[in-house]
Amino acid sequence: MTWTLSILAALLYFFAAWRAANAPPARDPALAIAVPGAIVLHAAALLHHLLSPAGLSMGLGEAASLLAWLSALMLWIFCLREPLQALGVVNYPFAALCALWPAFAGSSGRPIPLDDWRLGIHIMLSLLSAGLLTLAAIHAIAIAILDHVLHRPNSLHLARRLPPLQTIEKLLFQLIFVGFFLLSLTLCSGLLIIADRNGEHLAQIVLTAIAWLIFGVLLWGRRRYGWRGRTAIRWALTGYVTLVAAYFGSKLLLGDLVHAPWS
């Protein structure tokens, strides 16, 4: 059953990406059906993967799938008010592959008991912040593509399929600001948890703090010097790669090498 849900979700994601690449920039009825359908099926598959009697089963594949689902959900919500469907060309295939990951690879993590409310809040905050910043990274990639296209006159027809550069940049910094706020709360809750676990997740906290600092400098540079374009892209993607290293690199180190539970 879980395999079926994941495969159907992936097929709808790939179809949505194809429509986003080929349909007119105006709202497309096929996308309006395919994207919510993929998100619902993906969510149903995730529930089967994540929930167990022993707690939350959060392995590497489940974490990637959940982050991809959050980014797809947020993009769909943003598309209700802004013409951002073209961003699905990047987002939806990523979500499709991540939806298939836990279905075919299986879980590599031990269940995380959720009897501690602080741990539950920490997990929720970390996933929300990571989901927002994942979508921000996709926006940064879209800005890089649009900037490249605008410097090539023979590719201007591709630029017409993308939202205006100013719209994407505005949304990029809105996402980073909210993600930065949630990441700040994640760090605070993580420090409370690590104090009770003898430094078990110290590597994850340190890398997350470095990512938080990078995003903080980017927001300061935007406010103080008006950073945009390639400067904003470099800082945003550097912060996101650092955050991915915090979430997945520490998972591989702690979970797979020393078999410590991960949150």
Q: How far apart are CA 207 and CA 203, in angstroms?
A: 6
Cα torsion 71, 134, 179, 172: sign:
negative
Q: Which of 33, 67, 32 is nearest to 50 (CA)?
A: 67
pLDDT tens per residue across span 122-169: 888 888 898 889 889 988 988 887 777 766 666 555 566 677 778 888
Q: Where are the alpha helices (DSSP H) in the chain?
A: 2-22, 29-50, 60-79, 88-105, 117-150, 156-159, 165-195, 202-225, 229-244, 250-251
Q: Could you report the per-residue pLDDT of 189-234, keeping only the tens digit for each?
A: 877 776 555 555 677 788 889 999 999 999 999 999 999 888 999 9
Q: Count of residues for the chain?
A: 263
Domain ranges of the chain: 1-113, 114-263
Residue pLDDT, tens place only, 69-126: 998 998 899 888 877 888 888 899 999 999 998 888 766 556 666 666 677 788 888 8
Amino acid at 226: G
HSE of 43, CA atoms in CB hemisphere, 13 A: 10
Phi-psi region of 199 (alpha: psi -120 to 50; beta: other; left: phi over 0): left
Structure tokens at 164: 């205006």
Residue among 147, 206, 208, 207 at smallest CA distance from 172: 147
